[in-house]
Every structure is written in C-alpha cells, then in structure tokens.
Structure 1
Amino acid sequence: MTSTYLGIDIGTSAVKAVVVDEAQALLASASVPLTTSRPHPLWSEQHPDQWWTATNQAVVTLRQSAPEAFARTAAIGLSGQMHGAVLLDAADRPLCPAILWNDGRAAAECEALQAAVPNLGHIAGVVAMPGLTAPKLLWLARHEPALFTQTAHILLPKDYVRLKLTGNHVTDPTDAAGTLLLDEASRDWSPELLNACGLTQAQMPRISDGTAPAGRLLPAIAAEWGLPVGTIVAGGAGDAAAGAVGIGAINCGDAFISLGTSAQIFVTTGSYRPYPETLIHSFAHTLPRTWFQMAALLNGASVVEWAARLTGQPDIPDLLARTEAAFTAPQRLLFLPYLAGERTPHNDPHARGVLFGLTPETSPTAVMQSVLEGVAYSLLEAHDCLTAAGTPVTHAAIIGGGARSLFWTRIIASTLGIPITRYTGSESGPAFGAARLARIAATGEAIDTICTKPPTLDVTEPDRRLHEVYRENSVRFRRLYRALREEFRA
C-alpha cells in the first residue's frame, strides 16, 4: 500500500491542507477561513488557537473526503505566514494574540533597532521593518513589559501548530530568517541581534532544515486524527519558501511571483547575497545550503476582494470576466494598493490605498482593472529593486490564488515585460510544497527528484505595445506615492 503525505499551510485568510500521493497527485484538499483582528490603527492580530482549531477542522474535512488516503499519511509538512510574533509562557500558553506580518505599529522600534545594530541589514538580510518579528518584540517590551518578562518561548505561526502536534519548539531557516534575529550567513540565531532585543537563545526555537524530521506526532493527536503514533512532522517552511518547493524553484535563478493575501517576487540563490539598500529580503531557504532574494509586498490578491466589496459586486469571478471583456487599454485611473502599508520598496507602514482619477463615468470594471494594474505596478517596482540588487528576473512562474486569473497574469506579464508561466495546481503551492518536504523528511529521497516543476498550464508572453504604456503609467504611479507620502504620515 502506497504512502501519502499531508501538507498544512497556516495562511492569513485560511488554513489550507492537502493530501498528496507518491505520484505527487493531489488526492484531497480543504480550506478553513481565518479572521484577522484590527483593534487599533496599524494593528493586525490573530489568536494562535484559531490556527489550531482551523487545522483540526481541515483535517476532519480531509478524512471525510479521502479517508483511505488520509489514513496512509506517512509524514506531515507545515507551511505558514511568516513574521508573526507568537509569545508563550512557561506552560506553552499564548500570552497574547499573535502580531502578524502586516502589523505596522513598531516603526519607532525599527529605528531604535537599526541604530543599535547599524549593520543589521547585512547580518539579517534586510533592514528593520515593522512587520518583521524583532521590532514587534521590542514594541511589546516597551508597551507590555509585564507580558514580555513572562515570555518563555517565541514561535512563528506554523511552529505553534507544530508545538501542538509534537510538543517541540522548532522552526525552519526561512521562518527564522523572517524574525530579523537570524545570522543569515551562518543560518543560526545571532547573539548580537538577540541581545539588542533583550532575548536569549533559550527563548528561541531550534532550527531544522525543512527537509529534516523536526518531531513526531503526539499519541493523543495521532489517536484523534487516526494516524500512527510517531508520524514524522517535517521542518517545513515559511509560505514563500514552501511555494518555491511546490513549483520546483530550487535552483539558482529560479523565480516566481506569489499572489496570495500578500505578494512576493522570489528568486532562489546559491549563496547569501544581502542587498538591504533596495529593501530586498535576502533570506535562508528552507533547503540546505540554499538562500533566496525576495521583494515582499504587503498587498496582493486581497485587494481584489476589497475592490469587489467596495463596488458592491460580490461575484468576483463574474466581475473579473466583465472587466476583461471591457478591457481596451491600460486605465488612466490609478490605484495605490497599499491598504496594509507597504514593504518593498517603501518600508512604509503608514501608506494607504488610493484611487486617483475618479470621474462620474467610473464603473466597477474600471475600478477592478485599476486595482489589478496597481498590484502589477507594485510588482514592477519590486522587479526593478531585484534588478538593482544584481538579480534581474527575465522569466517567472506565478502561484497563489491570484494565479487563477489568466487576465491578471496577462496584465502582470505585460507590465513587467517578461513571460510568466502558470503551473497546474499552482494555487495550492505552499501546502503542496509542505507535503513535498514531508515526503523528503520521511524517505530521505533527493530534493531534486521530488521538487520537480509541475506540468505547465500555460505561458503568457508580454504584449510589447501594452508594456510601453504600462511603463509610462508606472511613472505616474510612483510619482503619486511620492506626492502623498508625507500626507500618509500626517
């Protein structure tokens, strides 16, 4: 009887889980929505127990839809949203809601940390940004000192689920990288950065490569889930790196665009190449002896749902279809997609969304087109940052929920001026990548044997005529942000 592998992705909007067989076919999938709390301006939080509850609900769905396949699970892999600050007491109970990647409250702490460690960007791969873990811990130390002193363990979102599964405090190199506390070159916790944040090594999880076993399923969980006691749980990966594993972006130069709640342009590198001046993230990959450079955008496919709500159009696929049918040329209407601030290239938690150029004739389809194009312009800025960092992207794959739209893919290809490949099943990339990591941890098979590229769905070539217009419009897009930057802060 053949084995199967379970991949679980702790996202921002949902927990997603997949069961994959030895032929790498997707046998079952489940998605359980999550809610985010924003109790104050710039804040973004989720309670860790919400992830655990949703994980169990996803497992129930998988067991019901594919009971025999699920029962053959040989190993579990975890993926998750990066940078979330999960603080636990000595009994492993959450001390407060987790502060998420798109939380912007810690701008002052970023300045303090950067001043304390001037070469921070070259140690940790990027300059201090409010969404990363370390500044948020400094914020808690300053504003919630009693809570901070009770902190016995610090974890990342997926690693809290791992703790529930195995009882172990473990993370992988990518999630460790996203804390701003890792020495990226050595792939271990930085004593200098820990000290600057008032932390000790004992509070931090052990770091395990994503392809290695990082624990085994506890007896109580195994019984509840109907799996063998001691089922392997792999090191796993932060969502960006898990997406890379899922589409086989494991070799130097492999590039892809991720369009989930947030967005990234990710390029695998064979060595550590920091370039903090461009606000590019240079992080350790979850794979051994591998790193990556990434432009991180805080606003991706989530702005599409927002635009549909704004225009009173609840049927998003229908709205996208009508927008495509109405498309004749790039919109003069400009959209700054910074609903949750922005990271690359602005490092500005105060930035906000803007629709510029509205007229009495502006239609819901015009708004939607400008929203799709606004994200594309942000990706073009990110693409230019990578080029400045010495990593030009001449071809990319695309993954995530936004990759389901061929229309949006065409807009992005033409804006960036590069071909873009969609792979079969690429919208479930991080969970699928986590399942691949689970298999390698269980079997010891070679990474390049398992982490192959999925079948190609289509390749979208850029429209050169549109590219010239989009390049011109992007100048207006960038100028609009610069004109409003001080207003956002005010």
Structure 2
Amino acid sequence: MTFLGIDLGTSGLRALLVDEDGAPIGSTEQLYNAAHPQQGWSEQDPADWVMALDAAISEMRDTYPAFSRLRGIGVAGHMHGATLLDNSGDVLRPCILWNDQRSHAEAAKLDKIKGVRDLSGNIVFPGFTAPKLKWISRNEPEIFNATAKVLLPAAYLNYYLTGEYVADMSDSAGTSWLDVGKREWSDYLLDASNMRRDQMPRLVEGSDAAGVLRKELAQDWGLGGTVIVAGGAGDNAAAACGIGALDEGQGFVSLGTSGVLLAARDGYQPAPETAVHTFCHAMPGRWYQMGVMLSAADSLNWFARMSGQKPSELTADLGDVLHAPGEVRFLPYLSGERTPHNDAEIRGGFTGLSAGTTREDLTRAVLEGVAYGLRDSYDALAATDARLEKIIAIGGGSASRYWVQLISTLFGVPLQLPASGEFGAALGAARLGMIASTGVSPEGIVTPPEIYDEVHPGGAQSAAFEEGYQGFREAYAGLKQIQ
C-alpha cells in the first residue's frame, strides 16, 4: 500500500508518496501564481490548483510504479481562502487568499460583535474567511447571492477528489464561523456575517475519512480498489503532524514566507486578547496555538531582490558567530502584522541608517527584526501558559544557522534542526491519509523526525538582545504614531 500527501501552497502544489511505513518514495511539485488586482489584494483561480494536481499525479504515476498501490490521500492547504461555488458546484470568482487585506474594515466590525471572540476563540483577523464574505456581500452582491457553498482551498481539492463538500476541523477553525471549543459550526457566528449553515461543508476530523476518490479519477490515475480521502488539515496543522507535534510541550517555529510559532495543546485554552491563534488540531480532542507574523523569510527575500543577491548569499556573509545587535533596526511589517498587533495597515522600515551603513548591516537588521517579531509571538504564547522547552526549526530560513541561533537566544530555549528529509505539511497530509484509510494509531505514525543538531541560546549575547528587543518594541510604538 502507498499513501499520498498533497500540500496546496500559495505558490505551488507539492505531492508526496509514502509507503506503508510512512517512508517517502518520491515527490513532485507544480508551480502557479497569485494575482494582485489591487494593492493589498491576493487571489488565485482554483482551476490552477486542479491543473497543478493533475500534472503532479501524471508525473508521479509515470515515475513511481508504487503509485498504482495507492490506498489513502490527505490534503493540506493554505488556510482562510474563500472559494465560492454556485448551486452547480462551479466556481463563482477567484479565491480570496489568506494574505489578502481588503476586508480589514469588515473584520474590525465583526470582531466587535459580542460573543464572536468567545465562540471562535480568536480575533477576527482581516485574512480570515468571514470578513471576506462580508466584503463580497457589500461589493459583489450578485456573487454573494449566488453563493451556495464556501470552501477553503483544501476543502475545494477534497471536493474535486471526492465530489463531496467536506472540510476538516483545523482548517475550518480559521474561518470565524466555527465554535472551536465544541468543534462545530456556530449558527450565531454564521448569522453575524449573514451566512447559513447549508452554505458550509460537512465537518470531519482531519484523520477521519472524508470520502472516496471518484471513480473517474481513479480510472484516469490508473488505480484499482477503493482509495480513501482523509479530512486533511490546514497547512500548519499538517506541518505539526509532519514533525510529530501532537501533545503539550511539542511545537515548531517555521521560517517560511510567513513566520509561525506553533505549540500543540492538550486542551482548549483560547486567549484572543494576545492575538494568538487558537485552532483545532487535525486529530480529535486536540488543539494548537500559534503566533503568526506575515513577513518572515519574505522579508529576507524582499531585501535580497532589492540588493541583487540570493538570500543564502546574504546570510552566508554573516558567518555562524552571533554578533551583538547592530545600530540599524528593521521593522518587518511589509504586509501588516498579525501577532501580537492585529494591524493590517502597519508598514515596515529601517531606522538608524548612516553613511557608513553596509549591506551586511542591513542583512543583520532584517534577521534581527524578524527574530524580534517572532519573540512577540513567543511571549504571547507564554501568556497562554504554553511551555516549549525545545522547538523544532523548519522552513527555508532555518538553513541559516546564524538566524536560528539568534532566535534561540531571544526565546531562551534550544532550537532543534531536523535531519534532511521529509517533515513538512505534505508528510503530515500523507500521514492523515494513512490513518483514515487503515485505522493505524496516530501515536504510532505521527512521530518527530531525526534531529541532527541542536542550537542553544548564545548566553554571552542574551542581555544585549533582550535590550535590543525592548528597543524594537519602542520603535514599533514610534512607527504607529507616525503612520
């Protein structure tokens, strides 16, 4: 038997095939783009996701003979996206993505409604799904009136795979329509944004069966027998399954386009006032909390484009020895910020520039600014009593040992670096597909990766970076007064 994990990302789709022991057999990736019709808008055509999936399956089928033994599929996807379907199941407009900021006014109004935070467990952020539908109702009423179903990106792929409208708890927790504690749609929350329960997909746990692969697809893919499609997960819950973060005390920091600090929780302990996200995990009876910054490695990517260098070249110039904070400070708010500020309109900047400032100074400032932003999330999580004694570091930015040690120093805890191999959302999705189709115990398959190195806080620089962090917080306050 083999199992397939599909990671529907913002810039591309990745498919990973694993064997019955969960060991990777092979993977493939297909890229696509997002559209930005106006400043602050971000959209994608769901047809691009389907084309990418079809191309990935075609390549995998032709490359890996073991694909013919496929028995289970799990889908992970970028969260919060609003994919609107009519009564025939046809897409009405491009999907509005998680990093779209157009509905910040609608989000603020929903967030002020009594009981919304209590039921959803979260602030209503502009990137969440509910304010997107409020924006559509006011600006595209004909589309809103024709909407029969609202699906998140992963749920849309589940629909393509099974023909059923079904979504998992972890992804649905980011809509502001789910009672996250009870793990069910809330009529009160739906009514607050003029939505109905019949417009929602059926809910399942991420590790449960959502449906069966459609016969037409199974034939096209060259498969025989029944293929179970799992409920799947939002991308971060899937990543937590990929690195084995199921229980209290387990978590990771991701230096991807956005920055995520995630802590698995054994119970439901919302703290919306901290701007920490509290979502259902992909497994029954579990939740997770995370702090999110919108521009982590993307800040370094932006500076690399501006300077005409590759990100790896910029970080390599710093070496591996941690230096005290520089005179230049960078505020990493290129696209606004979530944790802890919930501020869609704040923008970033450099301060402390002089005629002697070098490219290396600016690079260090970018890394420090992102690390300070992640420290904001660490403190916010600590305020919820989440305790992380060791944290696994993942994402492209974790290739910079300098950056990893900087973050470890600011957190005051060791960061663990996984050995090369699979441990991300695609693996987590494949594991969910395996659990749903075989009934294997989650504890037996959702395990941590092999750790090849552990980076410890730089004790000699801890006080200097603590002082630097306080200066960063003061700089944010000053920036807010200016903007």
TM range, smaller chain: over 0.9
Q: CA deviation at 1:425?
A: 4.3
- The CA deviation at 1:316 is 3.0
Q: Secondary structure at the match of 2:210?
A: strand
**Alignment match, 1:270:** 266
1:334 aligns with 2:332: no
- The answer to whether the aligner puts 1:460 opposite 2:458 as a matched pair is no
User: Within 5 Å, which residues of 2 pair with 1:329-478?
Assistant: 329-425=324-420, 428-478=423-473
Q: Shift in Å at residue 426 of structure 1?
A: 6.6
Structure 1 equivalent of residue 52 of structure 2: 54
Matched, 1:106 2:103: yes
Pair 1:483-2:478 in alignment: yes
Amino acid corresponding to residue 463 of structure 2 in structure 1 = E
* C-alpha distance 263-325 of structure 1, shift in aligned 2 (>3 A): closer
SS of the residue corresponding to residue 16 of structure 1 reads: strand
Aligned residues: 483
CA shift for structure 1 position 285: 1.0
d(CA) in 1 for partners of 2:422, 2:468: 29
- Report the Cα offset of residue 229 of structure 1: 5.5
Cα distance in 1 between the residues matched to 2:24 and 2:102 = 40
Identify which of 74, 79, 83 aligns with 1:77: 74
Q: Is the 8 A contact 2:167 2:202 kept in 1?
A: yes
* Counterparts of 1:89 and 1:18, CA distance in 2: 32
Give the whole-Å Cα distance in 2 for the aligned partners of 1:379 and 1:394.
16
* Residue segments in structure 2 that go unaligned for 5+ positions in a row: none
After TM superposition, the runs of 4+ consecutive aligned structure 1 residues lying more than 6 A away are none
Of the three residues 9, 12, 17, the one matched with 1:11 is 9
- Taking the aligned partners of 2:334 and 2:45, their CA distance within structure 1 comes to 22
**Residue of structure 2 in register with 1:21 after alignment:** 19
State the TM-score, normalized to the length of structure 2. 0.96
Q: Structure 1 unaligned runs (5+)? A: none
> Contact (CA 8 Å) 2:316, 2:400: kept in 1 or not?
no
> Whole-Å Cα distance in 2 between the matches of residues 242 and 412 of structure 1?
23
Provide the residue aligned with 1:143 in structure 2: 139
Matched residues in 1 for 2:333 and 2:32: separation?
21
Shift, 1:428, TM fit = 4.8
Amino acid at match of 1:204: M
Q: SS where residue 319 of structure 2 aligns?
A: helix
Kept in 1, the 8 Å contact 2:323–2:461? The answer is no
Q: Is the 8 A contact 1:326 1:365 kept in 2?
A: no
Tell me: CA distance 1:427–1:106, structure 2 relative to 1, closer, same or farther (3 Å): farther
| Identical pairs, percent | 42
Is the deviation greater in 3-12 or in 388-397? 388-397
Equivalence for 2:165 = 169
Q: Closer, same or farther in 2 for the Cα pair 1:305/1:228, shift >3 Å? A: farther
Tell me the distance in 1 between the aligned counterparts of 2:450 and 2:362. Answer: 34
Q: Work out the CA distance in 2 between the residues paired with 1:273 and 1:298.
A: 23
Instruction: Tell me the distance in 2 between the aligned counterparts of 1:254 and 1:434.
Output: 18
Structure 1 residues 241 and 325: alpha-carbon distance in aligned structure 2, compared to 1, 3 A threshold = closer
- Equivalent residues in 2 for 1:231-270 (5 A)? 231-270=227-266
Range moving further from structure 2, 400-409 or 347-356: 400-409
Show the counterpart of 1:123.
119
Three-state SS of the structure 1 residue aligned to 2:417 is: strand
What SS does the aligned partner of 1:248 have? coil
The structural deviation recorded for 1:309 is 0.5
Q: Aligned partners of 1:391 and 1:185: how far apart in 2?
A: 17
Report SS of the residue matched to 1:323: coil
Change in CA separation of 1:325 and 1:256 when aligned onto 2, cut-off 3 Å: closer
Q: Within 5 A, what are the aligned runs for 1:85-104?
A: 85-104=82-101
2:159 & 2:84 partners in 1: Cα distance? 13
Tell me the CA shift for residue 403 of structure 1.
2.6
The alignment status of 1:287 with 2:249, answered yes or no, reads no
Cα distance, 1:165–1:470 mapped onto 2, change above 3 Å: same
Q: CA deviation at 1:57?
A: 2.4
Change (3 A) 1:317 1:111: closer
Give the 3 Å change call, closer, same or farther, for CA 329–118 of structure 1 in structure 2: same
Deviations 1:139-174 (A, max 9, x none): 111111111010011001111111111111111101
Give 1:177-256 correspondences, 5 Å limit. 177-228=173-224, 230-256=226-252
**1:352 to 1:227, Cα distance in 2 relative to 1, 3 A:** farther
Q: 2: distance between equivalents of 1:371 and 1:220?
A: 50
Distance 1:26 1:391 in 2: 32
Q: TM-score, normalised by structure 1?
A: 0.94
2: CA distance between counterparts of 1:74 and 1:272?
A: 33
Per the TM alignment, residue 409 of structure 1 is displaced from its structure 2 partner at its CA by 1.4
- Structure 1 CA distance for aligned equivalents of residues 272 and 129 of structure 2: 17
Check whether the contact 2:320–2:401 (CA below 8 A) recurs between aligned residues: no
Contact map agreement 1:13 1:261 (CA 8 A) in 2:
no
Deviations 1:457-488 (A, max 9, x none): 21111111222222111112111121112444
Cα distance in 2, alignment partners of residues 367 and 290 from structure 1 = 41
Whole-Å separation in 1 of the counterparts to 2:141 and 2:266: 41
Tell me the secondary structure at the aligned position of residue 176 of structure 2.
coil
Residue 402 (structure 1) shift: 2.4
Does the 8 A contact of 2:82 with 2:95 survive in 1? Answer: yes
User: Is 2:303 the counterpart of 1:301?
Assistant: no
Distance 2:478 2:311 in 1: 32
Shift of 1:325: 6.3
Q: Distance in 2 between matches of 1:362 and 1:71?
A: 58
